[in-house]
Chain A
Amino acid sequence: MTPQVIVDGLMNGTLIGLGAVGVTLTYSILRFANFAHGEFITFGAYAALAISGILSTTVVGFGEGVGVVSISPALIVATPLAMALTAGLALALDRLLFARLRGKSEAISMVMASFGASMAIRAAIEFGFTSSPAYFSRELQIARPIGFGLKATPNQFALLIVAGGLLIGVHLLLSRTQIGRAMRAVSENPSLARAAGVDVEATIRFVWILGGALACAAGVMLGLLVQIRPFMGFDLLLPLFAAAILGGIGSVAGAFAGALVVGLGEALTVQLAGAEWRAAVAFLVLIAVLLIRPSGIAGRPA
């Protein structure tokens, strides 16, 4: 085992964290596990791929990497646009599907509906982009020493900073702003939140926007580090839920912590036992949490 595990684990953990925050927010406000969240990640990656593709063919020099980083200006411009599109997809899905079921059906109907939406979105993406993997850049990145005997590729380093910044931003948003207080209030007691003047419907829309945008960021990150394929988000679903449940479902800070544990656990397993065991980690974490402390790290025991 080498200390390099820490770099891989952190990368992996922040990526899972970006997705897990969305899952946990949706759960805490809307009270259902959204299985379509994985497809927000996939959709986000493909949206960024499509937009950056258009930009790099229309703007001269826009498709090349910047300095040592193989992230092109086209992708940097495309990502916020893709985040907006993914937020739009989440809002549209809520309007077309979840809003119609809300308050009228059991949580399990919402979960099943999200499962159906997940399959439909994935199939549409496969139809549009084929099932063969795509890449933002085919340039080979060489890991460089970053101190303490650790190595990271310039891309990893840049992404770690951006993703960490996003997660800190979400934390500040939730703890310091009025919309953050509104989200916490709706999650604890929707009826009291209404009485206190919170527009619950607007708050729900904001949660979809935030969850969709962060999922897209996770998708772009995953696409840069590995590859883009129609199952990329679906395959991430288990680690996302493991992180959210480990952190205590509904707790954003818990989801960060859970994601780091799952991410480091996966990196450690790949080093010690081999890459084929990677997927087992999230599963084991999930079982362990459910057996030992079902309420998670930050959750209150029921």
Chain B
Amino acid sequence: MSDIPVLAVKGLVAAYEAGLPIVNEASVHAGRGEIVALLGPNGAGKSTLIKAIAGLVPITGGAVRFDGKDITHMPAHLRIREGLAFAPQTENVFGSMSVDDNLRLAAGVLPHARRAGRIVAMYDAFPDLRRQRSLLAGRLSGGQRQMLAIARALLVEPRALLLDEPSAGLSPKFVEIVFAKLADIQATGVTIVLVEQNTRAALALADRAYVLVQGRNRHEGDARSLRDDPAIAALYLGGMETERAE
């Protein structure tokens, strides 16, 4: 890991409505090839934070630097061209378009010559998607949709991948498959920042984690030490041993 973080978020304030910040001076950094988890109770602002980093929620204070470049006020569609990709939690694919069209749309940010090759590469990495390439994405199962959302984000060969609750709504078996995929992606040198409710799985996967409460950092540290800290688990992580009831 190099000294300059791939992603450096400092004192970020983000709000859907002026004067009502959901994220209030949160700071996060992630190095090359690192997996960083954003954890915390419901309403802590994790999801808003990751959307703000992706450029989808107005930022009213603080700064986001990507590979040393200030991208705080860069429009979302340009961030992906810089190599910062985002896969949202719900409505993460275009349901009225075929699987193939979802990938072709994403390939639009690449130069013409590279588009077809990258789509093939994604089908190689996600063989299930190749089998269902002409199916409408809205007809995919929840797990396959998540795979398509990740494939869409990875297609542009990003340096960092932002994921909002990749395990949401998935069966335990699919959570395992998705998280194994994330480990593979990390191995290629891509930085991953993910929001998770499934804290146990997230801490098992991540290198480091942040615990957010009321829109700001409450704890941070490497995943192992957070996992082994019973006080943090009991206070903020919503009963690590029982996992999520749903």
Cβ A197 vs Cβ B156 within 8 A: yes
Contact with B along A180-202 (1 / 0, CB 8 A): 01101100110111111111100
Cβ B97 vs Cβ A188 within 8 A: yes
Cβ B94 vs Cβ A185 within 8 A: yes
Nearest A residue to B75 via CB reads: A194
Cβ A197 vs Cβ B104 within 8 A: no
Cβ A195 vs Cβ B96 within 8 A: no
Cβ B97 vs Cβ A184 within 8 A: yes
Stretch at the interface among B84-92, B119-127, B170-178, B238-246: B84-92
The A/B interface has a contact count, at CB < 8 Å, of 65
Report the minimum CB–CB distance from B129 to chain A (whole Å): 16
| Cβ–Cβ < 8 Å partners of B80 in chain A | 195-197
A: interface residue count bin? 10 to 19
Cβ B76 vs Cβ A195 within 8 A: yes
Of residues A188, A189, A192, which shows the largest number of chain B Cβ atoms within 10 Å of its Cβ? A192
| Cβ–Cβ < 8 Å partners of B54 in chain A | 195
B interface residues, how many (CB within 8 angstroms): 27
Is A58 among interface residues, defined by CB-CB distance under 8 A?
no
Cβ B77 vs Cβ A198 within 8 A: yes
| Cβ–Cβ < 8 Å partners of B157 in chain A | none
| Cβ–Cβ < 8 Å partners of B85 in chain A | 195
Report the minimum CB–CB distance from B154 to chain A (whole Å): 12
A188 with B77, Cβ < 8 A, contacts A181-B108, A182-B105, A198-B105 known: no
Is B41 among interface residues, defined by CB-CB distance under 8 A?
no
Can you list 27 contacts pairing A with B, beta carbon distance less than 8 Å? A178-B104, A178-B105, A181-B97, A181-B101, A181-B105, A181-B108, A182-B105, A184-B101, A189-B91, A189-B94, A191-B56, A192-B88, A193-B77, A194-B56, A195-B56, A195-B76, A195-B80, A195-B85, A195-B86, A195-B87, A196-B152, A197-B77, A197-B156, A198-B77, A198-B105, A198-B108, A200-B77
Known: A182-B105, A185-B94, A189-B94. 7 other contacts (CB 8 A): A184-B96, A192-B88, A192-B92, A193-B77, A195-B54, A195-B56, A195-B88
